[in-house]
Structure 1
Amino acid sequence: MTQQLFAIRNEKRRTIERFPTYAEAERAASRRCRSLRVSVPVYRNRTHLATVYPGADKGLLVFLTTAGSRII
């Protein structure tokens, strides 16, 4: 099993990048959201475009979407 439990995925749920900590994944997701030039603010631990949810392999994932956040 990988030590990088956090991932940023695209809208097709394909992994773009993996990270060992939530903080690193969140920073990368925030940068990615800003690069999309979306006018929605991204807040620490409660983001609109980067949502954390449990994945199928019991790791946490940062799911990046431009459609808005969904808490699952």
Structure 2
Amino acid sequence: KTMTNFRSTVNLVLQKLNILLTLFYSIFQQAYHVAYKKLENHVLQHPARSLFKAVQIFDSQFLTLTAAN
């Protein structure tokens, strides 16, 4: 979950706007973690989660991916 590999075009735009890249990375990383945590909490609390977990065991692709990991 590290945000260190930004495309060079993004870096160029930030430099043209005189924005410190390290500051931008820090702010972006914090925003990313907040958004990720909100999404994670939403998914974990979703009422259909147990149904999804029950149904996915019949999906051969899920079984293949699970066995590979």
More strand by share: 1
Larger relative contact order (C-alpha < 8 A, sep ≥ 6)? 1
Q: Give TM-score, length-normalised by structure 2.
A: 0.26
Instruction: Pick the structure with greater CA Rg.
Output: 2
Structure with the largest fraction of helix:
2
